[in-house]
Amino acid sequence: MNSPPSAPGRVYIVGAGPGDPGLLTIKGAGYLRSADVVFYDDLLDTRLLDLTNAACDRVYVGHRGGTGSRTQEDVNELLITHAREGKRVVRLKGGDPYVFGRGSEEALALKAAGIPFEVVSGISAALAVPAYTGIPLTHRHMAAMAVLVTGHEDPFKSTPTVDWGKLAKLDATLVIFMGNRNLPDITTALIEGGRAPETPAAAIEWGTWPHQNTVVSRLDSIAGDVRLREMKSPTLAIVGEVVSLCEQLNWFEGKPLFRRRILVTRSREQAAPLQLLLEAEGAEVVSLPLLEIRPPRDWTAVDEAISHLANFDWTVFTSPNSVDFLFQRLAEAGCDSRAFGTCAIAAVGISTAERLAARGINPDLVPDNQSQEGLATAFEDLPVDGQRFLVPASSIGRTLLDEKLEARGAEISRVVAYQNEPPDPAGVVLPEALAEGHIDLFVFASPSSVRNFCELLGSERAVEVLSTGKIASIGPTTTLAVEECGRPVDIQPQESSIPHLVEAICRFHESGEDGVR
């Protein structure tokens, strides 16, 4: 279903949807991946740019009312110039390019210049924003029509393009774009044109984003409510009986983590599963990678262990990363899972076990308590005296597991399968929300991420920052690291895994223990 590689010397005008990056189409994603240059607007989740290849140029050309920026003519010329250079050009626009998006103006300019182009439709704010608010545009008992209209012009100017008096008489849902500034005059014109003052009306600011803000009111008071809420652009206004369904159908704003801003401190390679689960529950995720996962500086010890894998009684995997890096080296040596022979396999938890299962191995031992302490306890019921254990792990030193097994007579061979290192402080940019103290929840999934957080900010500053929100820890060893940093932990799942961590976070917030509900 992926789009074919795009042709050079062509422009693809791609709609990105109104905010939620999951609303980008598969075709649009395909063209982003093959682009040589992307020109992008405001009101886009910049994570969409991560879909581009490393060599792609990303150029911001956004323009919003009241701000100095490139003119539309400048943007048109950029598209033409880069296409004439033989580049695959993507023009990435919020919403749908042909719904109040100036996409048609750009397409006309390309046509006049003889530049081949293609338009990839996006999900318009007119469709997605009401849906994320629980407002259907049509309903067979309430509205058989929906009208999309700009609210950008003054409804009382001498020759208005939009006849609000005529729109007022239509039995239709009105979806008003860019109407904040003129909303008082628009609602007055609709009422004067015959719309009942009590007609349900709504305004949605930042629709489909985690900080979506909705006010439901009446036609005669919606403008005042928008002013009181200090709602700014982008705000979409909706007028019609279908707005009355909002309370029953609003699925998005009822998510347990809606409007919670959560800081995730995992490495870039590891953050995605946690981030996706949190966002699925409505959270706004702020990423601060505090770990860098790299191959070991020297593979000698790993290679030696691989050459004698079948001689070990147990191989113990203490993280998904240990699975990935050991199997990567196995493959490079021309080996696969058969190299383990009769060696038994242990996994510290469900995530590690799943990573092994993907490679055709079902672990012989997975502890109920998913932690290295839990794994040590699970081995207490098994004979280990005189047995040889291979532990491919991170560069961080020995653990309680090693000590307990050795105390019972086991022979431990711990090899560094990957480096777990702090990022270079000079290259770390603190997220604006963190710098301003606007984080609701700090999530730590390893002791090293806690230590790196404290080192990055300094101990006193770290404690001060952590005091502004709640703290979630994936398990006991991480909790201990947080406590050593000087703060208590508010959330810790019974089982140390990413899914259980997210479940515990949701339960905490639904219970009202965060002080919000």
Alpha helices by DSSP H, 231-285:
246-249, 268-280
Report residue 163: phi and psi, to 5°.
-95, 95
d(CA 85, CA 74) in angstroms, rounded, equals 17
CATH class of the domain whose range is 127-249: alpha beta
Residue with tokens 């191989």: 315
For 247, other C-beta atoms within 10 Å of its C-beta total 9
Question: pLDDT (tens digit, 0 to 9) for every residue of the chain, 517 residues total?
Answer: 556 566 779 999 999 999 999 999 999 999 999 999 999 998 889 889 989 998 999 999 986 554 556 788 999 999 999 999 999 999 999 999 999 989 999 999 999 999 999 999 999 999 999 999 999 999 999 999 999 999 987 677 777 789 999 999 999 999 999 999 999 999 999 999 999 999 999 999 999 999 999 999 999 999 999 999 999 999 999 999 999 999 999 999 999 999 999 999 988 777 888 999 999 999 999 999 888 888 999 999 999 999 999 899 999 998 889 999 999 999 999 998 999 999 999 998 888 999 999 999 999 999 887 777 888 899 998 999 999 999 999 887 657 888 999 999 999 999 999 988 888 877 788 888 888 889 999 999 988 899 999 989 999 999 999 999 999 999 888 999 999 999 999 999 988 788 899 999 999 998 876 655 4
- Amino acid sitting at position 280: A
Dihedral of CA atoms 54, 55, 56, 61 in degrees, nearest 10, equals: 100
- At a CB cut-off of 8 Å and minimum separation 6, what does 237 contact? 151, 174, 175, 176, 179, 183, 186, 201, 202, 203, 204, 222, 226
Q: What's the CATH number of domain 294-421, 3.40.50.10090, 3.40.50.300, 3.60.20.10, 3.40.710.10?
A: 3.40.50.10090
Left (φ > 0), alpha (ψ -120 to 50) or beta: where does 122 sit?
A: beta
The domain spans of the chain are 10-123, 127-249, 261-291+425-510, 294-421
Q: Does domain 10-123 have CATH number 3.40.1010.10?
A: yes
How confident is the model at residue 517, as a pLDDT? 44
**Sign of the C-alpha dihedral, residues 69, 72, 75, 81?**
negative
Strand 10-15 to strand 213-218: parallel, antiparallel, or no bridges (unpaired)?
Answer: unpaired
Helices (H) and strands (E) in the chain, counts: 19, 19
Q: Does domain 261-291+425-510 have CATH number 3.40.50.10090?
A: yes
Residue owning tokens 């938890």: 349
Residue 422 structure tokens: 């702090």
Closest to 257 measured CA to CA, from 23, 446, 22, 470: 470
Tokens of 197: 């003052």
261-291+425-510 and 294-421: same fold? yes
The 8-class DSSP code of residue 4 comes to P
pTM exceeds 0.95, yes or no = no
Residue 472 CB contacts under 8 Å (≥ 6 apart), including other chains: 441, 442, 443, 444, 489, 490, 491, 492, 501, 504, 505, 508
Measured between alpha carbons, how far is 155 from 157 in angstroms, rounded to an integer? Answer: 6
